[in-house]
């Protein structure tokens, strides 16, 4: 069973039921429906909560004003890289006949936040995709979604068509179920040629992407925030979060917590409060994986009181990444957990760049020997990490190297024990989900 099948959105008690007169949502969650109703928010409920989006072809001045508003909001990409959204919008808006791609691929097995968002609030994402298209002057938006939510998104698109809602053409595409498939150029490659692999840069997608056209690729959560900024403005958006990293974000919380879930939190909420939203620890925590599989292992006690923001976590060399916290219980082996994930990441190399294809495979083998207490060469491993870092067409090798380096630092005491052939872990449960190994 996939781990995210377990993950449910936990509605906030603070939210109000949809009201007849739409009001600005003053409380979190902003993006996810409030109350306990199951299933996706229908178009009528969506409009009752947020109001009907103004869908009109925007004139140049209105477009520029909206991009400025997004800039004032400080919204950054919620797919992991955290790039300023307004800058991407402006770069594509300056080009002729662009296309918009809403990226809901979420190929990372541990992350569920984009799937939960699309399953609960498909119309908010569609509002954002259509709005982004209008803002950059695109006539088409392609919505790429994980197969588990495809039907929900199809239904939402059909509902909007019946209501004559959007002036922009929307097309839904099922994402490739691969880890690298979510990288922006891989998403475009997948839509165009059915190949979920990154492509060389240059050209940048903002110049030449889908069908040779300038292409804006934005994560689906980013687009949902965009839809609300257009309605309520930058100041509203900035009312939560920190001055440097304003707004809220969806977080997937898994591992040794009572109720693994996806929650929307204000950026900067202390890590221990985020964990409390998942019912708190189900066993004492030794370490947390922050950001995702390209993220960083940190000591659980050191991270507990830090703000969940990239600035707050920087002291531990971590960042919020794609909004993920995985809690490692005290009886698990962090090296063994990491070794499984590294093997998976090596297998998920697109196989296009030599250092990634051969280097990650060698690294995964060496790291596994180390985790299993076999004869391993830590010096060789570090040498290889240095050799593959930054050597791919995408950041797949870099992200994997980051994870391993953080594991070597966070589980340093265990390294010596493992070298002597023993491990203090007594638990056998796997914390980080990894799909079954495919035939290569």
Partner 1 sequence: MRTGSKLQVDPIACDGRGLCAEILPELITLDDWGFPIIRDRVVPDRLHEEARETVRICPKLALRLEGPH
Task: By CB under 8 A, name the binding residues for partner 1.
Answer: 199-200, 352-356, 358-359, 362, 383-384, 387-388, 391-393
Nearer to partner 1, 308 or 384 (CB): 384
CB of 72 to partner 1, least distance (A): 36
Nearer to partner 1, 18 or 353 (CB): 353
CB of 369 to partner 1, least distance (A): 17
Q: What angle do CA 434, 435, 436 make, to 5 degrees?
A: 120
Burial 387-423 (b: 16+ CB within 10 A, else e): ebbeebbbbbbbbbbbbbbbbbebbeebbebbeeeee
- Alpha carbon 119 to chain centroid, angstroms: 15
Nearer to partner 1, 169 or 204 (CB): 204
Nearer to partner 1, 100 or 205 (CB): 205
Contact 196, 181 (CB under 8 A): yes
CB of 355 to partner 1, least distance (A): 5
Nearer to partner 1, 199 or 242 (CB): 199
CB of 388 to partner 1, least distance (A): 8
CB of 384 to partner 1, least distance (A): 7
CB of 199 to partner 1, least distance (A): 8
CB of 198 to partner 1, least distance (A): 8
CB of 187 to partner 1, least distance (A): 17
Nearer to partner 1, 211 or 386 (CB): 386
Nearer to partner 1, 12 or 387 (CB): 387
Nearer to partner 1, 392 or 433 (CB): 392
325 backbone φψ class: left, alpha, beta (φ>0; ψ -120 to 50): beta
CB of 420 to partner 1, least distance (A): 27
Residue 69 to residue 56: CA distance in whole angstroms? 18
SS (H, E, C) the chain: CCHHHCCEECCCCCCCCCCCCCCCCCCCCCCCCCCCCCCCCCHHHHHHHHCCCCCCCCCHHHHHHHHHHHHHHCCECCCCCCCEHHHHHHHHHCCCCCEEEEEECCCCCCCCHHHHHHHHCHHHHHHHHHHHHHHHCCCEEEEEECHHHHHHHHHHHHHHHHCCCCCCEEEEEECCCCCHHHCHHHHHHHHHHCCCCCCCCCCCCCCCCHHHCCEEEEEHHHHHHHHHHHHHCHHHHHCCECCCCECEEEEEEEECECCCEEEEEECCCEHHHHHHHCCCECCCEEEEEECCCCCEEEEHHHHCCCECCHHHHHHHCCCCCCCEEEEEECCCCHHHHHHHHHHHHHHCCCCCCHHHHHHHHHHHHHHHHHHCCCCCCHHHHHHHHHHHCCCCCCCHHHHHHHHHHHHHHHCHHHHHHHHCCCCCCCCCCCCCCCCCCCCC
CB of 349 to partner 1, least distance (A): 12
CB of 200 to partner 1, least distance (A): 5
Nearer to partner 1, 35 or 390 (CB): 390
Residue linked to tokens 């990372």: 108
Nearer to partner 1, 211 or 354 (CB): 354
Nearer to partner 1, 85 or 185 (CB): 185
């Amino acid at each position: 069973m996939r781990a995210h099948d377990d993950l449910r959105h936990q509605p906030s008690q603070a939210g109000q039921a949809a009201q007849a007169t739409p009001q600005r949502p003053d409380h979190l969650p902003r993006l996810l429906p409030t109350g306990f109703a199951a299933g996706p928010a229908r178009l009528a409920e969506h409009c009752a909560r947020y109001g009907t989006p103004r869908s009109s072809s925007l004139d140049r001045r209105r477009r520029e004003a909206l991009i400025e508003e997004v800039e004032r909001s400080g919204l950054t990409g919620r797919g992991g890289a955290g790039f300023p959204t307004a800058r991407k919008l402006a770069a594509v808006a300056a080009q002729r006949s662009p296309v918009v791609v809403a990226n809901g691929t979420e190929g990372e097995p541990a992350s569920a936040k984009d799937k939960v968002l699309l399953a609960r609030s498909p119309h908010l994402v569609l509002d954002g995709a259509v709005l982004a298209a209008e803002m950059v002057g695109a006539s088409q938006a392609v919505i790429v979604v994980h197969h588990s939510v495809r039907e929900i998104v199809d239904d939402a698109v059909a509902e909007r068509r019946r209501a004559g809602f959007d002036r922009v053409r929307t097309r839904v595409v099922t994402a490739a179920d691969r880890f690298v498939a979510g990288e922006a150029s891989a998403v475009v490659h997948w839509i165009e040629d059915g190949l979920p692999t990154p492509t060389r840069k240059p050209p940048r997608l903002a110049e030449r992407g889908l069908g040779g056209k300038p292409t804006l690729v934005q994560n689906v959560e980013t687009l949902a925030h965009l839809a609300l900024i257009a309605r309520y403005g930058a100041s509203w958006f900035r009312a939560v979060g920190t001055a440097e990293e304003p707004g809220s974000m969806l977080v997937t919380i898994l591992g040794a917590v009572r109720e693994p879930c996806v929650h929307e939190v204000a950026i900067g909420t202390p890590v221990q409060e985020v964990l409390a939203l998942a019912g708190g620890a189900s066993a004492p925590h030794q370490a947390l994986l922050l950001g995702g599989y390209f993220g960083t292992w940190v000591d659980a006690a050191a991270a507990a009181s830090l703000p969940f923001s990239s600035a707050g976590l920087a002291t531990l060399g971590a960042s919020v990444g794609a909004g993920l916290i995985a809690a490692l219980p005290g009886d698990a082996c962090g090296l063994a957990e990491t070794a499984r994930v590294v093997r998976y990441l090596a297998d998920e190399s697109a196989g296009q760049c030599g250092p990634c294809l051969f280097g990650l495979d060698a690294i995964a083998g060496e790291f596994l020997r180390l985790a299993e207490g076999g004869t391993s060469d830590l010096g060789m491993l570090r040498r290889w990490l240095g050799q593959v870092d930054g050597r791919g067409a995408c950041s797949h090798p870099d992200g994997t190297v980051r994870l391993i380096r953080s594991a070597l630092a966070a589980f340093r005491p265990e390294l010596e024990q493992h070298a002597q052939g023993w491990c203090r872990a007594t638990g056998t449960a796997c914390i980080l989900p990894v799909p079954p190994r495919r035939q290569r």
